[in-house]
Structure 1
Amino acid sequence: MTWIEDRAVAVITGAAVGDALGGATEGWTPEQIEQRHGGRVTGIVGPWYPNWRDARPISPYHKGDGHVTDDTLMTRALVEVYAKRRAHLDAYAMAEDLVPLMIGEPRWVPELESTALLLQRVFLAEKWIVTKLHYGHADPREAGVGNIVNCGAAMYIAPVGIANAGDPRGAYAEAIDLTGAHQSSYGREAAGVLAAVIAAAIAPGAALGDVVRAALDVAHDGTAAALRAVVGAFDGWTSPPTTDDEERALARHIREVVAPFDSVGPEYRQMSLDARRPSRTKSIEELPAALGFVLGHQGDYRRAVLAAVNYGRDADSIATMAGAICAGLGGTDAVPAEWVEAVGEASRMDLRETGLLMASAATDILRADRERARARLAALESLGVAEPGEGRA
């Protein structure tokens, strides 16, 4: 495989595996997770309630058993839009191409164990996309205003980082434009930052420091503050956890660092009164928590993802983000092949094929970027813009 193929497959599979493992523990506390599973989760586990169709509060979804959630379903849909357009995307692409996929093309939904429209599976914050763009005919660039502010846009944004490989600022700008149709405030900001992080992670020779610099370079407001707090908490960190007790301590530490910026509050299923409202001082929990697990485990995919899974709360999205970052840094070899196979089989989808489809689209996009860069350089030269230190003719 080419470099971009390897990294695209890694990011897509790495995110999907994290999503599938984390789906089984989403919404619960670390203590409840250990009690339910007889200890820390170490791989794919079954649903919280065996009779998942009737269980509350999570019915009617079959979370667990290697089933991906809406995080991956939305990611795959975005990849399909890239494959169709083979160009950078904006808010209008959301309206013109993603919405029709959500409401017009039935596909297998693992958590429903049936073929359904993507619209029928996604959360209310994603249903908003269809409501505002298809039924409300809102300006795509502003449609996200008024929506729930959550991680909904960030959870599927990794393909934007792939389309802007090696260009974190370009990835940030594209993600901010694209997700204006879906989110606002710190939900939209998180999507831009995560796209930038993925763009940095998949560049040849990238290391954890490059990921951190990309995140801090583009982030604003509460998102920037939350990320700085996490990075500061792991400054000089060189000893990843080696025991279950150390893993528990790491998770508690990350929660303590992130909590001041999280609007949801201490009880994930009983949110605070100002939860998920626009704010200049808040951040979604998922992105800084994911970065914390990546830093705490020094980019080790398996350990970072399992730590996110055992964290609970919005475990599927946290593990999705941590998995995408670690996989971007480490490539396909970093993502356990047995998990990729098991999740793909359980979810009835070829995760690697989706990665290759994104790589094909990204290759065309990056080639076009190169030609535009050459044309721009020629234009600058014709304008008499000289290199530093050069005199004028």
Structure 2
Amino acid sequence: MKTAEILKSDFNLARDKAVGCICGLAIGDSFGDASRMQSNRENYGITTDFNKGAAWSTDDTEFALLTAKTLIECEGKLTTQHVIDAWLKDVAVQDEFKRGGASEVAAAQNLLRGIMPPESGKFSTFHLSDGSAMRIAPVGIICAGNIALAAEIAKIDAEISHYSDGISGAQAVAAAVAVAMVDGSIDEIIDAAISVMPKDSWLYANMIHALKIVEDANGSIIDAWMPLHDALKASTWATTAEAIPAAFACLKMMGDDFKKGVILAGNFARDADTIGAVVGAILGAKYGVGAIPPHWVEKTRYPSGTCLNFTKGVDLVDIGEKLAKLIK
């Protein structure tokens, strides 16, 4: 593996990986959301590319941009107060969220009631959602190679809207991105994610189960596909213990190529935008923006502001470059 020191001394390399991570997240988000649309299922069955229509972003990309913006403004020295201030400025001010995640909306409502972290995340029906994991990749970028720091900062960001597995899922994705940033193997990336999961958690149990299904299928996507869906399915599809193990199972089966990995994850169904976003972020960090089809980058480069108004037209490449400068 490389080290954070190498990334800090080689900005072009750091930029390639940071931009790859942010753009990969947005691509996986938009790709997964499109692939589960009924029209795409009727027309293509399996979606393998973006069609001619306009791309759009969902809460996955736009809340990741909130996390990124907060990290950039505090120069990577994140505190709970930084997160609170950011959410009050850019989330709680909105009257509606066309594509907002339930956990994030509940957190904003709690803040307006004067309920602060960690209670703002804990006192929520949706505290086990994958809404924290979908937005946390920027933390992994700045914590390249440092699993413990990635988990620590991820907790600060996540606990405004989540609790228990909802926080652990964010820590797992941040740890995975941190290892991907320094060229860890797919197994090392997965091990990093598992290392920060509480061993008595639903998330950990499902993660181990999902990887066992893939192992028993000898990595065969066809043989693992339906058993994975049957084993992981929760009562609602945006649950951390379902979506995050699904994402890592996709990485295990198809983590050697960005495009193939995102196509697999984006077609997983259920919360495919988050599964795609997590896989895209990790593979983008590992292989860099140079490994991503250029037309995919341009297709999703400027978010639509579908969820958070401030994100409309933000340049993801610029955000990635700024995060690259914060690598610790």
Q: TM-score band (shorter)?
A: 0.7 to 0.9
- State how many pairs are aligned: 306
Name which one, 1 or 2, has greater alpha-carbon Rg.
1
How far apart are residue 316 of structure 1 and its match? 0.6
Structure 1 consecutive aligned stretches of length 4 or more whose deviation exceeds 6 Å: none
Quote how far apart the aligned CAs of 1:226 are: 1.4
Quote the residue 1:309 is aligned against: 266
Question: Matches of 1:180 and 1:75 in 2, distance apart?
Answer: 15
Q: Give distance in 2, aligned partners of 1:170 and 1:235.
A: 30
The residue number in structure 1 matching 2:116 is 139
CA drift of 1:212 comes to 1.7
Residue ranges of structure 1 left out of the alignment (5+ in a row): 47-63, 105-115, 269-274, 277-282, 367-393
Q: What's the offset of the Cα at 1:350?
A: 2.2
Q: Residues 191-224 of structure 1, C-alpha deviation per residue, up to 9 Å, x if partnerless?
A: 1111111111111x41112112111211111111
Distance (whole Å) between structure 1 residues aligned to residue 32 and residue 101 of structure 2: 16
Separation (CA, whole Å) in 2 of partners of 1:3 and 1:237: 36
- How far apart are the structure 2 equivalents of 1:310 and 1:163? 29
The aligned residue for residue 230 of structure 2 is: 256
Question: Take 2:302 and 2:133, find their aligned partners in 1: how far apart are those partners?
Answer: 26
Indicate which of 33, 54, 75 corresponds to 1:23: 33
Q: What is the TM-score with the length of structure 2 in the denominator?
A: 0.84
Task: Write the mapping of 1:252-291 to structure 2, written as runs, cut at 5 A.
Answer: 252-259=226-233, 262-264=234-236, 283-291=240-248
Q: Does 2:159 align with 1:213?
A: no
> CA offset at residue 17 of structure 1?
0.5
Describe how 1:3-82 pairs up with structure 2 within 5 A: 3-26=13-36, 35-45=41-51, 65-82=54-71
Equivalent pair of 1:153/1:191 in contact (CA under 8 Å): yes
CA–CA distance in structure 1, aligned partners of residues 256 and 167 of structure 2: 25
Structure 2: how far apart are the matches of 1:82 and 1:219?
Answer: 24
RMSD: 2.5
| Aligned residue in 2 for 1:279 | none
Which residues of 2 match residues 309-328 of structure 1 at below 5 A?
309-328=266-285
Q: In structure 2, what is the Cα distance between the partners aligned to 1:172 and 1:356?
A: 22
Alpha-carbon offset, residue 175 of structure 1: 1.0
TM score, norm. by length of structure 1: 0.71
Contact 1:102 1:118 in 2 (8 A): no
The alignment status of 1:130 with 2:130, answered yes or no, reads no
1:92 to 2:81 alignment: yes
CA 1:231 to 1:101, structure 2 compared with 1: closer, same or farther past 3 Å? Answer: same
Higher relative contact order (CA 8 A, sep 6+): 2
Structure 1 346/125 Cα, relative in aligned 2: closer, same or farther at 3 Å?
closer
Check 1:33–1:300 CA distance in 2 against 1; reply closer, same or farther (3 A cut): farther
Cα shift at 1:340: 0.6
Letter in 2 for 1:41: T
